[in-house]
Amino acid sequence: MIHALRLLCAVFLALAVSAMNAPPLGAEDGRVPLPNLAKAAKGDACVEPAEVMRREHMDFLKIERDRTMYLGIRDGKYSLNGCIECHATPDPEDPEVRTVEFFCDECHNYAAVRTDCWSCHNPRLVEETPGNAARLPGHSDAGTLIGQLKDHLAKGAPTP
């Protein structure tokens, strides 16, 4: 049942997406405007052919999720952070930030798919440019913090 639905959905989408170059069916026809997927920011090709990805990305992601969670495999082809790395495109409101909103969410909104991934996984990436190192996630802030603490300790920290 679910499979049949998925197939339908996928066929529909494939048609919809391939029809995207044709003039879009406007809202004046009383129809929901077609999704306008952002072009991938990195890479020439997806991890699988686009037709396969359209239909099966959710299964790939779920398998990858469990492989990472339970088996600690970190270099998987279908990593969610990997999707974000390639598919996040610049946010017009904050050019230092890239987001997958205009790719994943654009399509999901159209197809009425709701995922909760972004309540934990960050759909936004801060571009690595020298100017915004302070906004970068990861160890950069830990490094400065440790530096400050070291200085502090060298001076003889007052034991509170």
Partner 1 sequence: MTKDRSSGDPSGIDRSRRHVLKAATAIAAVTLAPGWQLIAAAEAKAPGEPVTDKNRWGILVDTTKMDKATCDVAVDACNSEHGLTKSGHPGQDPQWIRRLDIRDPQTGAAHSLPMMCQHCQYPPCADVCPTGASFRRIDGIVLVDKHICIGCRYCMLACPYKARSFAYRDIEDPKPHSPRGRGTVQSCTMCVHRVDVGGIPACVEACNDVAPGSMIFGDLKDPESEIAKRVSEVVVKRVRADLGTDPGVLYLGV
Q: Contact residues for partner 1 (CB under 8 A)?
A: 65, 67, 69-76, 81, 84, 116, 119-122, 124-125, 137-139, 141-142, 145-146, 149-150, 152-153, 157, 159-160
For helices 50-71 and 80-87, angle between their N-to-C axes, nearest 10 degrees: 140
Contacting range for ligand HEC; rule: CB under 6 A; set: 23-31, 91-99, 106-114, 125-133 = 106-114
Query: Distance from first CA to last CA of the chain, Å, rounded?
Result: 64
Residue 11 or 73: which CB sits closer to partner 1? Answer: 73
CB neighbours of 67 closer than 8 A, spacing ≥ 6?
73, 76
Residue 96, φ and ψ in degrees, nearest 5: -75, -10
41 binds ligand HEC (CB under 6 A): no
Ranges within 57-96 binding ligand HEC (CB under 6 A): 57-58, 60-61, 64-65, 68-69, 78-83, 86-87
Angle at alpha carbon of residue 87, lines to 81 and 88, rounded to 5°: 85
Tell me how far CA of residue 78 lies from CA of 48, 116, 129, in angstroms.
9, 18, 26
Q: Of partner 1, ligand HEC, none, which one does residue 137 interact with (CB within 5 to 8 Å by kind)? A: partner 1
Residue 49 or 130: which CB sits closer to ligand HEC? Answer: 49
